[in-house]
Amino acid sequence: MTDRIAFVTGASRGIGRAIALTLAKAGARVVVASNEPENNEKVAAEIREAGGQAVTVFLDLTSPDSIKQAFGDILKQFERVDILVNNAGITKDNLALRMKKEDWDLVLSINLTGAFLASQQVIPGMMKARWGRIINIASVVGQSGNPGQANYVASKAGIIGLTKTLAQELGSRNITVNAVAPGFIETDMTARLTEEQRAAMLAKVPLKRGGQPQDVANAVKFLASDDAAYITGHVLAVNGGMYM
Ligand code: NAP
């Protein structure tokens, strides 16, 4: 991936951090983006210490202006983004009956609208270059449904639809668009679960363990590589067999 520019949203922690470190190790110049500048800098420093190249940018996916500004800055600096990983995501769980509209809107705006607007920023450059990779981080629950997560599930099912549509619109320009659907991965997001919820989740996993951020990063690295040149519109499950 030498000389490829890879923009990773939500790269300050968890799965996004692992993706940023992994793409940098594979030779890409990585843009570490999130709305926590200090954490962005920490991840960029880790990349540089390991001999890789990284820059940081402030990105608040709830704000279309912030998205324009962040990509504008990076495109000014590098002229293009070759690989976009739409990884940032949040949960605001509740039963549908009790879910507040503001929690519905917030989750949809970061997880789905944010990914759509970010993709719009990089597509013109990828079309011009006749090469591009967009990789969207979905979720197993976007495929299976999950009680208590109507907003999150809708955002993740939506991103799978977005992936397939962009794949069809952009294929003729040699841009592939794929999704990775993680299952239960050990990050801050899942650390919030109770022991009971954890045990119930793991009971559904044939591999009998939670996944690590690196498991997801490895799948992203493959989809971003030239080895995956003929794969587009695919949803790659990284879920230990939790949903087949
Ligand atoms: P995480 O540890 O909670 O990290 C979330 C990341 O998103 C952070 O970098 C966070 O940045 C960023 N973010 C949140 N709000 C943002 C905003 N408004 N603008 C820009 N960035 C924002 O989550 P994770 O577990 O690594 O999850 C990463 C992705 O994988 C998400 O899309 C999630 O839905 C998906 N996923 C996770 C699991 C799992 O089991 N963990 C399973 C399936 C799918 P800050 O540091 O600034 O908050």
pLDDT tens digits, 5-31:
999 999 999 999 999 999 999 999 999
In a domain, 27, yes or no: yes
Q: How many domains does the chain have?
A: 1
| Cα distance between residue 45 and residue 37, in whole Å | 12
Closest-CA residue to 1 (of 230, 214, 229, 224): 224
Ligand 1 pocket member 87 (CB < 6 A): yes
In a domain, 218, yes or no: yes
Q: What is the pLDDT of residues 132-173, one digit of tens each?
A: 999 999 999 999 999 999 999 999 999 999 999 999 999 999
In a domain, 198, yes or no: yes
Measure CA of the first residue to CA of the last residue in the chain; give whole Å. Answer: 31
The parent domain of residue 171 ranges over 5-238
With a cut of 90, say whether residue 36 has pLDDT above it. Answer: yes
In a domain, 65, yes or no: yes
CB 67 within 8 A of CB 114: yes
Ligand 1 pocket member 139 (CB < 6 A): yes
| Cα distance between residue 100 and residue 160, in whole Å | 24
Nearest ligand 1 atom to alpha carbon 36: 47
CA-nearest residue for atom 2, ligand 1, is: 14
pLDDT confidence tier of residue 193, bands split at 50, 70 and 90: confident
In a domain, 157, yes or no: yes
* Active site annotation includes 230: no
| Cα distance between residue 125 and residue 109, in whole Å | 24
Given the DSSP bridges, would you call strands 5-9 and 83-86 parallel, antiparallel or unpaired? parallel
- What CATH number is associated with residue 28? 3.40.50.720
CB 190 within 8 A of CB 184: yes
How many H helices and E strands in the chain?
10, 7
| Cα distance between residue 155 and residue 149, in whole Å | 10
In a domain, 244, yes or no: no
In a domain, 72, yes or no: yes
Centre of ligand 1 to C-alpha 128, Å, is 30
Which residue among 71, 131, 152, 184 is the active-site one?
Answer: 152
Place of tokens 């949809």: 108
pTM over 0.95: yes
Place of tokens 């993740």: 156
In a domain, 228, yes or no: yes
Ligand 1 pocket member 185 (CB < 6 A): yes
